[in-house]
Amino acid sequence: MTATVPTVDLHTLGRSAVEDFLYREAALLDEWDLDGWFALFAEQLRYVVPCNDTPDGDPSQDLVLIDDNELRLRLRVERLNSRKAHREYPHSRTNHQIYNVVLGPVEDEQLSVTASFTVWRFRNGKSSYYVGRHHYRLVVERGELRIRSKRAVLDMTELRPAGDLAIIL
């Protein structure tokens, strides 16, 4: 049997296909398969979380919570996979919920997608949550859907209810 190369056309991609992709991403995070999750990203990736008080924060001039390029995100994954990321060893149980998925236009071969998220985090008898909206730019790389950039904008006015942000949203 010859391997078929999956091909995805951003212009004809429906919402349910995008939802399937985002659900797969959420499942990988909940399973703590961070290498599998990292593999969903395209080259020249970006993963950004602005500060709660600056939802429009620009990582090139403002302080943000996370501004990862490929190297930093890879090291973040390595860190979380090690037993030395003390805040996440042992790992939290998480539940990444994705909804209100809206497809935007395709520009420069990038599909913009926004989706609401609620991420529950349970650890040491404590439960905390992160609520906000993801802004994705999806691309096709080697015939597969990939994440070029992911920006998670938190709706909570402060991070305090959740304490810190050692997990991935």
Taking the least distance from each CB to other proteins, the nearer of 143 and 161 is 161
Residue that the structure tokens 């920006």 belong to: 151
The footprint of other proteins on residues 39-98 (CB under 8 A) is: 49-54, 57, 59-67, 71-72, 75-76, 78-79, 82, 84-88
Taking the least distance from each CB to other proteins, the nearer of 52 and 110 is 52
Residue 123 Cα to chain centre, angstroms: 20
Is 76 in contact with 69 (CB distance < 8 Å)? no
Q: Which two tokens stand for residue 74?
A: 């890879």
Q: Report long-range pairs for 123-131 (Cβ below 8 Å, ≥24 apart).
A: 123/90, 123/91, 123/92, 123/93, 128/161, 128/162, 128/163, 129/161, 129/162, 130/154, 130/156, 130/162, 130/165, 130/169, 131/155, 131/156
Instruction: For Cα atoms 40, 103, 14, give the angle at the middle one, nearest 5 degrees.
Output: 80
Closest separation in Å from C-beta 162 to other proteins? 8
The footprint of other proteins on residues 102-121 (CB under 8 A) is: none
Taking the least distance from each CB to other proteins, the nearer of 12 and 157 is 157
The footprint of other proteins on residues 127-166 (CB under 8 A) is: 157-161, 163-166
Binding-residue total with other proteins (CB under 8 A): 39
Taking the least distance from each CB to other proteins, the nearer of 64 and 106 is 64
Taking the least distance from each CB to other proteins, the nearer of 70 and 144 is 70
Residues that bind other proteins (CB under 8 A): 49-54, 57, 59-67, 71-72, 75-76, 78-79, 82, 84-88, 124, 126, 157-161, 163-166
